[in-house]
Chain A
C-alpha cells in the first residue's frame, strides 16, 4: 500500500513538475517578441487649410517624425472588454471600457483638441465651412486631406465617410450613432441630415433637411462633423451581407472586428476575452510626430511630423502657450489587462504589473492614501465634468412653488457640507457647467446664500416662504443672542446658533405640507450623497418641511423617476448625479435635462422634474440655431442663470478625480477637465514609456 501510494504520488509530482518546468524552458512557439519598430512613412502632401491665419510669431517646437517601438504601455481595465466591433461599441456595447481600447482607431472629419476642447480638423483639410442655403436645404462642402491612409495602405477617402453615414441610416443604428447621423426617422426634431455625398475621393457634400434656419452647432459641428469614419473596403461586403439577414443590425454587431484597419495612432491587435487586449502602433498614422499647440487666445497650431504640415486656426497673434504636446505613437504596443474590479486592478498596479489603471471614477478615495505612500508614483487631481444634484418633482405641491425650492437652496450649506462634514471629499458647485470648463462657465448664477452665515440664510429662507404665502403652526426661528437668556450678550454675534424648528407648515392655499420623501442612493453606493441627503433632511425639518430621507437602491430611484413614467407622481425629491456631457457644447445637456419636449412624462425624455419654463424654451430654441461658439456660449450662460434661479435641480457638488501612474510613463497632458480617464483615446497614442 505504501509503495503504491508512493508511486502514485511520485507520478503526480512528476506530472506537475513537468508542466512547471516546461513553463520555464525556452520555446519558440511560446515566447513573445516585442513588435518590431515600424518605420515611418513618407510625408504625405502638405495641405494648408483655407481659412487659416498667419502662424504665430513664435513658432512652436516641432517634433521630427517618430520612430515607434519605445516600449510597451501596460494598463488595467476595471471591467471586461465586451466587443472588438466598432459598430457595436457605439450602440449596444457603448461602455467606457470598450471605448478605452477601441476609441482611438477611427478618424473623424473633425475632432476636439485636448485639453482645450477646440474643434480642429482631422481628416478634413480645413475648418468647417459655414452652411449655405441650396434651395430650401442647407449644404456644406468639405475638402478632405490627401495622403491619409488606413493601416493596410488603402487611402482614407470621402467614400469611407459616406459609407459610414449610409450604414447608420440604412441599418437604423441607435445610441451614439444617432447623434452622429440624425437621420429623418431617428430624429424627432425638425432638423436632420438628409444626404451625404462624395463629390470626389476627397470632397464631401453634406445636405441638411429644409428649414428656415441653418442647423446649429449641436447638429453640425458637434454632431455629423465628429462622426467616426469606418473603412468601406473592410466593411462594405459585411454590411451588404447583413442587409440580407433577418436582423441586419444584430448581424453587423456580431461580426468579429479583428483585422479591421486603423487610421488612428494604433491598430487593434489581440483580444483574449476576460484576460487582455492589445493595440500596436500604426506606422502609417498621418499625424505621427505632429506638435499641437494651443495659445491663450485659443489659436490652435499643428505642425511638423511625418505629414509635414504647419496649420494655424483661430485668431492668431498670441505667443502665450496654453498647452503643447507631440503626437505619437511613441510606444510599440499598449496592453489592456482585464481585471474584474477596482481592487484587483489597483493591486496589480501596486505590484508593478501595470503602469496605469483605466478607471472612469479615478482612484477610489480609500486607495488614495495607500498609493500616496508608495514611492515611484505620480499623481494628478482634476475636476470632474459631472455633478450631483437634488431634483424636485414640479408636478406636485409644494415642489412646484418656486419659493419652496429657493428656500431649501438657501439653507443647504454646501461649503459646510463639503469642507467640514465631508472633509473636502467633494467640491461645492452652483452651476451645471464646471468652473474648470472656463470657456463655458459663468459665475453669474444665483448662489443662494453662499458665503452668508447660517442664521442669516435661514432667516432669508423663512422670509421667502412667508412672502410666498407659506404659514406654520409653529414658525421656524433662528434665535438671536438677545432671544437667548443663557447667552451673554456679545454684540459681534447676531445669531446664537439655536433654532426653533417649524411645525405644521402649510402651503399658500392652506393645505398641510405632507411628509416629503427624499430618495437618495444608500451609503454603500455613495456615502457622499447619502450624507448630504441626511443634512438636507435636518435643514428641511428646521424650516418645518417634513422630509423623510430614504436611502435606497440606485435602480429603484431610476425606476421611479426616469421614463417610462405614467404620471410621474411617484416621487417628491431625489438625489442622483450626471456624468460629463459634451465639454465643447455643454448646454446640450441642459436641453436634455430641462427641455419641455424632454419631459419624462409623455415624451420619455430626461427632464424628470417636468420643468417647463418659457424663458428656458426660448433659450433652448436659440441654442439649437446658434452657429458660432460665441453665440452658443452666451445662450448657455443664460440657461445656467435660468436654472440657478428657478431650481428644477439644486446642483450640489462634484468630486475631484485622482489619477496615478508609474514614474517613467509620460502623458501628453495631465491637467484636463474630467481627468485622464475621460479622454484616453485622445492621449493613448501620445504616451511615452521612458523606463
Chain B
C-alpha cells in the first residue's frame, strides 16, 4: 500500500511540473504584457521599461520561467503585478475564505439534494415524479448558467426583494465593523468544519456501541451537543450580525449554484442506484423480507455511493478555484474573479499561483480518491 501511494505521489509530482510548465507557456502565449496597461501620454514612455524591469518582464521567457519555477518550489509564488508589491500568497489568502465558504456550502447542498433525489428517483422509477424531476434536472444541468443566475437575481433579489443584490456584505452595515470580512469568513468556515468533525466523531463513537439504544441515545445527544455548541458560539459572538449578513448575501449564490450542480449528482446517483438495484444481493434482501426502506438506504444507496463520493472529492478540489461566472455575476470577489482579472490583465504570477493551487489540489484529490476507493470498495486491490 505504502509503495503504491509513494508511486502515485511521484507520478503526480512529475505531472505537476509538466502542468506548471504548460500553464506558464500558455499564459506567456497571450499577446501583450502587464506594462501595456500603462500606456499614457502623460507618463514618459520610458516608464514602460522601468515597469518591465520592476516586474522581471525584461528577463525573456525562459529567464522568467526559470525564476518562476525555482521560486515556486521554495514556496514563493512571486509578487502580484496587479497588487504590487503584495505577494500572490497574500492576495490568495484574502480571497480563499470567501470562495471556500460559498462553494463548500453550495457543494454540500447540491450533493445532499442530488443524492437524496437520485436515490428516490431510482427507487420510484417510472412514476410521474421521476419524469418531472428528471426533466427539471436535465434542464438545470444544461441551462445556460449566466442566464439562469441573472434570472435568479431578477426574481429573488430584484422582484421579490427577499435577498440582496450582489456583493457578499452590506457596506453601510459594515462601516464601523471591528472585524474584517476575512476574519468573519474564517470563523464561519472553522465553526462549520468543527460541526462536521463533531458529527463524524459522534457517528463513529456511537457506531462502536454494542447496544442499539445506546447508539441512538449517543447519536442524538451528540448531535444536540454539537449543534448546541455551534448555536451558543454564534449567539454569544460579537461577530454574529456580520456572519448573518454574509449568510444573507450567500443564500442566492449558494442556492443557484446548488440548483445547477445538484442535477449532475442526481443523475449519477440515479444511474448508480439503478445498477445496484439489479444486483443479486438486493434480490436476496427482498426475498428475505427486509423492509424496502432498509434495502433502499442501507443495501442499495450505500453501494451506489461510490461514484458520488469520487465526484464529491474531485469536486472539493475545484472549490478553491471558485467559479468565474458565479463570482462575476454575483459580485463575489473570490478566487474565480481573481483568476479572471489576473488572466485578462496579464498578471502572470497571480494567474499561475491560482491555477497551480487548483491543480495541486486536483492532483491530491485524485490520490485521495484512489486511496478512498481501496477502503470503500473491498473488490479493489493494488496489484503489481
Contacts and interface: CB of A to CB of B under 8 A. Distances in A.
A592 B47 CA distance: 13
Nearest to B330: A344
B335 to A, nearest CB: 11
B48 A339 contact: no
- What's the dominant secondary structure at chain B's contact region? helix
A602 B126 CA distance: 76
Nearest to A95: B37
Interface in A318-363: 333, 335, 337-341, 343-344, 347-348, 350-351, 353
A174 B174 contact: no
A63 interface: no
Contacts of B330: 344
Contact of B223 (A8, A16, A188, A351): A8
Interface stretch (B77-85, B255-263, B365-373): B77-85
Contact of B31 (A72, A555, A582, A588): A555
B45 interface: yes
A563 B48 contact: yes
Given A178-B44, A340-B337, A555-B31, A23 B245 contact: yes
Interface string B330-352: 11110001000100001000000
A338 B333 contact: yes
Nearest to A351: B165
A496 interface: no
B36 A562 contact: yes
B103 interface: no
B248 A174 contact: no
A604 B46 contact: yes
B241 A29 contact: yes
B174 A20 contact: no
Given A93-B84, A353-B165, A19 B234 contact: yes
A22 B38 contact: no
B333 A175 contact: no
Given A272-B180, A276-B174, A558 B39 contact: yes
A419 interface: no
Contact of B244 (A22, A269, A270, A581): A22
Interface stretch (B8-16, B62-70, B224-232, B268-276): B224-232
Nearest to B55: A92
B31 A556 contact: yes
A258 to B, nearest CB: 12
- Of listed B39, B79, B331, B332, residue having the most chain A CB within 10 A: B331
Nearest to B45: A605
A274 B54 CA distance: 26
Interface in A257-278: 269-270, 272-276, 278
Given A11-B224, A604-B48, A556 B174 contact: no
B175 A278 contact: yes
Contact of A253 (B36, B84, B224, B327): B84
A504 to B, nearest CB: 34
A11 B227 contact: yes
Contacts of A555: 30-32, 36, 346
B49 A604 contact: yes
Given A20-B244, A32-B172, A273 B31 contact: no
A335 to B, nearest CB: 5
Contact of B85 (A22, A253, A578): A253
A453 interface: no
A27 B173 CA distance: 12
B50 A174 contact: yes
B241 A27 contact: yes
A553 B172 CA distance: 40
A30 B230 contact: no
A272 B234 contact: no
Nearest to A178: B44
Interface string B19-59: 00000000000111000101111111111111100100000
A175 B38 contact: yes
B111 interface: no
Contacts of B124: none
A624 interface: no
Given A344-B331, A604-B46, A82 B167 contact: no
A392 interface: no
Contacts of B240: 19, 22, 27, 30
A430 interface: no
A179 to B, nearest CB: 6
Interface string B147-179: 000000100011000000111110111111110
- Of listed A1, A175, A176, A253, residue having the most chain B CB within 10 A: A175
Contacts of A615: none
B86 interface: yes
A40 B223 CA distance: 59
A83 interface: yes
Given A4-B220, A15-B231, A19-B234, A272 B241 contact: no
Given A8-B223, A14-B227, A19 B247 contact: yes
Contacts of B328: 340-341, 344
A16 B36 CA distance: 48
A274 B333 contact: yes
A446 interface: no
Given A15-B227, A23-B241, A604-B45, A339 B331 contact: yes
B247 A20 contact: yes
B235 interface: yes
A132 interface: no
Contacts of A592: 41-42, 45
A131 to B, nearest CB: 22
Contacts of A25: 241
A559 interface: yes
Given A18-B231, A32-B175, A175-B38, A351 B158 contact: yes
A7 interface: yes
Interface in A465-485: none
A680 B333 CA distance: 25
B30 A275 contact: no
Given A14-B227, A23-B241, A32-B173, A176 B167 contact: no
Contact of B230 (A8, A15, A351, A562): A15
B210 interface: no
A273 B97 CA distance: 13
Contacts of A269: 175
A372 interface: no
Contacts of A274: 94-95, 98, 168, 181, 333
Contact of B241 (A30, A273, A333, A554): A30
B84 A92 contact: yes
Contact of B47 (A1, A175, A582): A175
Interface string A16-53: 10111011010101101100000000000000000000
A588 B42 contact: yes
Interface of B: 30-32, 36, 38-51, 54, 79, 82-86, 94-95, 98, 153, 157-158, 165-169, 171-178, 180-181, 216, 219-220, 223-224, 227, 230-231, 234-235, 238, 240-245, 247-248, 293, 297, 327-333, 337, 341, 346
Given A32-B175, A340-B332, A563-B48, 14 more contacts: A7-B220, A7-B223, A20-B244, A20-B248, A23-B245, A23-B247, A25-B241, A30-B173, A32-B172, A82-B82, A83-B83, A555-B32, A555-B346, A605-B45
Chain A to chain B: the 3 pairs with minimum beta-carbon distance, closest first: A555-B32, A23-B244, A274-B333
21 contacts: A11-B224, A15-B231, A20-B247, A22-B244, A23-B241, A27-B240, A32-B173, A32-B175, A80-B333, A92-B84, A93-B83, A174-B51, A176-B42, A250-B84, A270-B176, A335-B171, A338-B331, A350-B158, A559-B31, A588-B41, A605-B45
Interface of A: 1, 4, 7-8, 11-12, 14-16, 18-20, 22-23, 25, 27, 29-30, 32-33, 72, 74, 80, 82-83, 88, 92-94, 174-176, 178-179, 186-188, 247, 249-251, 253-254, 269-270, 272-276, 278, 333, 335, 337-341, 343-344, 347-348, 350-351, 353, 553-556, 558-559, 562-564, 578-579, 581-582, 588-589, 592-593, 598, 603-606
